Amino acid sequence: MTEKVLKTVCAGVGFVGGAAHVPSFRKVPNSQLYGLLARKGRESEAYALKLKEKLAKKENRDLKIYYDWGDVCNDPEVDAVCVATPTPFHYPMGKQALEGGKHVYLEMPIAPKLKDAEELGKLAEKKGVVLMPILNFRTCPGYVKAKELLDSGAIGKPIAITFREFIAAEDLADQWPLSGWAWDIEKAGGYPDYTLSVWSLDMLQWFFNSPIENVEWTANYMPIEGINDFKGYQTVGIMKFANGVVGTTMVGSTVAKGLDLSRFEIFGNNGKTILVDWIPSKNREVFDVTLFGKNGDDQNWQVEGPGPMIWGHKQMIAHFVQACLGNEKPGYDYKAAIAAQKWSNKIVTDLM
């Protein structure tokens, strides 16, 4: 008996789509990267033509290139789509794909307006297809290891957390310049601090299996010397979860190269602490997880994630494929995305 295979078309082959989603849909079990969406004369076309040639040579197979999203959504050969275009295109492209009966793997934030995200979720339910928002911090090896420790009682009951995600301004300025969609509140829902907060807010609620009760935000935005078409930001949230845990979160892009990192600390009532570090200047394919004990009896794990596994992308795509084929129950849906986005939205409304 031949195994079932999910045929997927990817749209958006930039920072995250090109580096994480396309390679993962090529490699995970029961998945066929069936095609790519390209725009004539743009980078996406060059990317698609190059990959088509590579697959023909290396795997002796075709990759279909589409120039019109409607053609993708109406093609009966296509089972699923991955939408990793800029945020303002998520809602219209997601809607068209769902209407065409496709499973949708959709980048975050789902849509700048929560009512549009809700509408997509309801449409997916009506059509009986999977709509999976890409909440990949849940499958990120460092956070998965920390959750294992938490759930095993290693720190007793959690009391408090700190979370921070610092990106060097010079890196983010290339990806999301001030003149682009990522700084347009109408198009993106907020500034980059808003966009980048959605994954950690979702991860924290999943981590504690407890919703956030409240977050209060404050921020400072400022041009950075020597970096054009960009503003640095440091945005700080103080939060409380329904289970009583309190914490702070900080998303920033004012740090110098070398201090760009993600750091997550969880303090327990047995006097122990879990520290999860991702420090790209040391090793971008490793999370450093430490359980600090009371008498220096620390334990450390170097949790590896090659390529798109380090931020959980390949693992999540493997789950999406199995969920679409009916082999796994989808671990979460649009409601989880909305539960995170509603607190990210407060960055915008708190500061207005």
Ligand X SMILES: NC(=O)c1ccc[n+]([C@@H]2O[C@H](COP(=O)([O-])OP(=O)(O)OC[C@H]3O[C@@H](n4cnc5c(N)ncnc54)[C@H](O)[C@@H]3O)[C@@H](O)[C@H]2O)c1
According to the binding rule CB under 6 A, does residue 67 interact with ligand X?
Answer: no
Residue nearest to ligand X (CB): 14
For ligand X, the closer CB: 189 or 268 = 189
DSSP symbols for 300-338: EEEEE-TGGGTTTHHHHHHHHHHHHTTSS--S--HHHHH
Q: Which is nearer to ligand X, 15 or 257 (by Cβ)?
A: 15
DSSP secondary structure letter of residue 12: -
The minimum distance between CB 12 and ligand X, in angstroms, equals: 4
Nearer to ligand X, 174 or 216 (CB): 174
Which of 10, 130, 134, 201 lies at the binding interface for ligand X (CB under 6 A)?
A: 134
CA distances from 124 to 50, 97, 101 (A): 33, 10, 8
Nearest to ligand X of 158, 189 (CB atom): 189
Question: Which CA distances in Å does 84 have to 208, 251, 264, 309?
Answer: 28, 22, 27, 17
Cα end-to-end distance, the chain, whole Å: 59
Q: Looking at beta carbons only, is 14 or 23 nearer to ligand X?
A: 14
**Which among 216, 193, 190, 212 has a CA at the least distance from the CA of 203?**
212
Which residue of 79, 107, 119, 260 would you call a contact of ligand X, by CB under 6 A? Answer: 107
Binding residue (CB under 6 A) for ligand X from 8, 85, 197, 315: 85
DSSP 175-216: HS-TTSGGG-HHHHSS-HHHHHHHHHHHHHHHHHTS-EEEEE
Task: Write the binding mask 16 to 55 for ligand X: x where contact by CB under 6 A, - elsewhere.
Answer: xx-------------------x-x--xxx-----------
The answer to whether 328 touches 322, Cβ cutoff 8 Å, is yes
Shorter beta-carbon distance to ligand X: residue 4 or 39? 39
Among 8, 87, 96, 344, binds ligand X (CB under 6 A): 87
What does the per-residue mask of binding to ligand X show for 265-284, with x meaning CB under 6 A? --------------------
Q: Which of 6, 13, 110, 203 binds ligand X (CB under 6 A)?
A: 13
Report how far residue 2's alpha carbon sits from residue 13's, in angstroms, rounded to the nearest whole number. Answer: 30
Q: Is 262 in the site for ligand X (CB under 6 A)?
A: no
- What string marks each residue from 202 to 231 as x (binds ligand X by CB under 6 A) or -? ------------------------------
154 Cβ contact partners less than 8 Å away, ≥ 6 residues apart: 268, 272, 274, 291
Judge contact between 272 and 293, C-beta under 8 A.
yes
| Segment interacting with ligand X, rule: CB under 6 A, options 78-86, 210-218, 230-238, 262-270 | 78-86
Question: Side chain identity at 38, as an amino acid letter?
Answer: A
Helices (H), ranges, 63-113: 69-74, 90-99
Site of interaction with ligand X (CB under 6 A):
11-17, 37, 39, 42-44, 84-87, 89, 107-108, 134, 136, 175, 195, 311
